[in-house]
Structure 1
Amino acid sequence: MFENLSHLALQQYWWVIISLLGAFLVFLCFVQGGQTLLYTIGKTPNERTMLVNTLGRKWEFTFTTLVTFGGAFFASFPLFYATSFGGAYWVWIAILLFFVIQAVSYEFRTKPANLLGRKTYEVFLFLNGAFGTILIGTAVGTFFNGAQFSLNDMNNVNWETPYRGLEAVLTFHNVALGLSVFFLARVLGALYFMNSVDSPIVFERSKRQVLVNSVPFLIFFLYFLIRLLLKDGFAYDSGAVFMEKYKYLNNLVDMPLVAVLSILGVLGVLYGIGISLLQSRTSGIWFAGGGTVLTVFSLFLMAGLNGTAFYPSAFYLQDSLTIENASSSHFTLTIMSYVSLGVPLVIAYIWWVWKVMNAKKIDEAEMQEEDLHAY
């Protein structure tokens, strides 16, 4: 089946998969967003324990999706992996560091006589939630604004600044996406608390945080989106990369399905926020989460399809990476495509585990059970 597809069709297929993984990763960052709200919503140790434990049941999903996203990118588009991870390594080292301290915190926060104490690990969780989301969003922003690299004849990367990717923060459009992800994660985290914690006080505080964080999220996201649609983009044709006016807006026009997904995604996020604030419903996380997946999915599709360079070189335009010049061989993509047929089974398993874990809302009584494995 897959072996009969052209190389370009396989490249497009794998860019769709990468885009979907990236979209689910951003949704699952509700864990990171919730971690930044531990002291805002949890005013007592017992309340914070409830919040940490409801997040603790899901944090591995985020971590696993991040690893899967990186692994799939490496296997399908190895030149991007080599260029970004081999050149902009300070950004990726920072992201990995903040995710490592998250794993350590969930493991050791409630261990008897732990060396650092609960509060230190809760600070680690806040740092992971804040810097992890902002850095990931800022890094993805370079897909649309370019990075300072060049490639030699052997495709070895030369990073043209000593900051190794950290210079991305000097472009506000990148940072706006990072802050959008940060505040969106906080909105999703608060919505998740409303859905999974059985406490009227936590519910009301979470509802307030949905409102407080929705405003800056909308400001930064609308700035990013409007600026994106009006800016020149990185297009390519027959291997030559050039700047095209309104490139990303043109992508939406040329790919109407992507435009529809984008609109539905934004409406889904707004609807999830609206029913949570106006009707105090607990299902807002599902509408906002689904909307997040559709919106981020469409952004990734805009970045890599329709003759668009998905990792542009702002230093030397012709070294920009596209799904055609950065991908694995036809044979490798074919084998990987057969493996990808098992993805629906993995998604079904995750859904089942999620449903079992959330069959009963967390409450203070449960946190006091002696035989409970508490984070």
Structure 2
Amino acid sequence: MTYSFLQHYWWLVVSLLGALLVFLMFVQGANSLIFSLGHTPDERRLVINSTGRKWEITFTTLVTFGGAFFASFPLFYSTSFGGAYWLWMIILFTFVMQAVSYEFQNKLGNILGTRTFQWLLIVNGIVGPLLLGGAVATFFNGSNFMVDKMNITDGLQPVISHWANASNGLDALLDPWNLIFGFAVFFLARVLGILYIINNVDDDAIRQRSRKHLLYNVVPFLVLFLSFFIRTLFKEGFAYDATTGEIYMQPFKYLDNLIEMWYLLLILLVGVVALLYGVIKTLIADSYVRGIWPAGIGVVLVVQALLLCVGWNHTAYYPSTADLQSSLTIVNSSSSMFTLETMFYVSLLVPFVIAYISYVWRAMDRKKLTHDEIHNDEVY
């Protein structure tokens, strides 16, 4: 195993975790539609209990995604999570609100009322995907930071990366293209959430409303995502010289990446077809309730291809708009050879973890949720 192989391997692992995280945000998507899908208290509890079975997996994947980034590409972790901390703190705070809401909304002694906690779930369902999408969009559009590794010798302030302004990451929301992608992820989460509810909740009224809202959300998702994707293909990208490490702007960089790495283009196309199949068949066939699976697999494939496109083939995956040469690549931001190699062997356990999650998921979803279920003391 060469150093270069390990750097590419760990970007593959991080990309997979990111793709799984986007898929698992169906929890946030469904929560943002609590009052749209559930018109009575019992119907709302059905929706909440459905997502309440899976929210821990989403949160765990988010933490694992951050941990993998920290271990394999620590300079990104210190630059983004340390510099753009307001952006990340808001995201994490909404996830904490989600956990508290699930736990306490129907507990005895709840002085805030059930609706208060349900609205907190809605806030998480809107803000979480929107800001995560905006953060991912900066991989293509750049962020306002500077890196100076010589600062490590500064005894008073040995900080090698810092944000170039006082916004600490919130300036990402001033770029309209970051917002476009953020809203695309938001509507995608709602599409996945609706498909999951259709599959998991055995209630005709909720399923009928879900199909109506599926159409309302898939159209803006496609418009927003295609706008961002087409613009990205034809804009200048952030490339680096493999010999000198110099960062430079290259016309049609991301389009060239998909052409040169044709297998990523193939994965992307397969993912798009799978997503559209799951959505369209759910819309036209009232008896079809398994759309979450082809659509979910499609989302994982598409996001995986996009993240690999932005990190492989001599591309700066975290470009700087304040100082082009501060841009981060998988070469200049990775851990040492020893660390990456050690973690490589640890990562061989990941398939067993995925198999366990699949087993638990299947066990929980073997029986669909019904109105009888919400009268159980264990529900949310």
TM-score range, shorter chain: over 0.9
Q: Which runs of 5+ in 2 are unaligned?
A: 152-158
Identity %: 53
Deviations 1:105-155 (A, max 9, x none): 111111112131110110100000100000000001000111011112236
SS at structure 2 position matched to 1:258? helix
Aligned residue in 2 for 1:129: 125
Aligned residue in 2 for 1:314: 321
Distance 1:231 1:134 in 2: 23
SS at structure 1 position matched to 2:240? strand
Aligned residue in 1 for 2:378: 373
Aligned residue in 2 for 1:79: 75
Aligned residue in 2 for 1:304: 311
Distance 2:374 2:78 in 1: 45
**Is 1:231 paired with 2:235?**
yes
Deviations 1:225-265 (A, max 9, x none): 00110110000012000000000000000101100011111
| Aligned counterpart for 2:204 among listed residues 182, 200, 207 | 200
SS at structure 1 position matched to 2:218? helix
Taking only aligned residues, the RMSD between alpha carbons, in angstroms, comes to: 0.8
**Is 1:273 paired with 2:279?**
yes
| Aligned residue type for 2:25 | C
Distance 1:107 1:367 in 2: 15
Aligned residue in 1 for 2:257: 251
- The TM-score, its normalising length taken from structure 1, stands at 0.97
Q: Which runs of 5+ in 1 are unaligned?
A: none
Deviations 1:320-371 (A, max 9, x none): 00000000000000010000000000000010000000011101011123xx
| Aligned counterpart for 1:17 among listed residues 13, 17, 41 | 13
SS at structure 2 position matched to 1:142? helix
- The TM-score, its normalising length taken from structure 2, stands at 0.96
Aligned residue in 1 for 2:349: 342
| Aligned residue type for 1:314 | T
| Aligned counterpart for 2:333 among listed residues 307, 326, 338 | 326
| Aligned counterpart for 2:53 among listed residues 43, 54, 57 | 57
Distance 1:220 1:149 in 2: 27
| Aligned residue type for 2:357 | I
| Aligned counterpart for 2:269 among listed residues 242, 263, 269 | 263
CA shift for structure 1 position 278: 0.7
Distance 1:227 1:166 in 2: 23
| Aligned residue type for 2:41 | P
**Is 1:171 paired with 2:157?**
no
| Aligned residue type for 2:133 | G
Aligned residue in 2 for 1:117: 113
Deviations 1:199-243 (A, max 9, x none): 000010011111110010001000010011011000001200000
Distance 1:310 1:266 in 2: 23
| Aligned residue type for 1:279 | A
Deviations 1:16-69 (A, max 9, x none): 000000000000000000000100010000000011001000000100000000
SS at structure 2 position matched to 1:111? coil
Q: Which runs of 4+ in 1 moved over 3 A?
A: none
CA shift for structure 1 position 158: 2.4
Aligned residue in 1 for 2:23: 27
Distance 1:368 1:137 in 2: 37
Aligned residue in 2 for 1:47: 43
SS at structure 2 position matched to 1:302? helix
SS at structure 1 position matched to 2:162? strand
SS at structure 2 position matched to 1:323? coil
Kindly tell me the number of residue pairs found equivalent between the two proteins.
Answer: 369
Deviations 1:78-114 (A, max 9, x none): 0000000111111011111111100111111111121
SS at structure 2 position matched to 1:234? strand
| Aligned residue type for 1:29 | M
Distance 2:178 2:310 in 1: 14
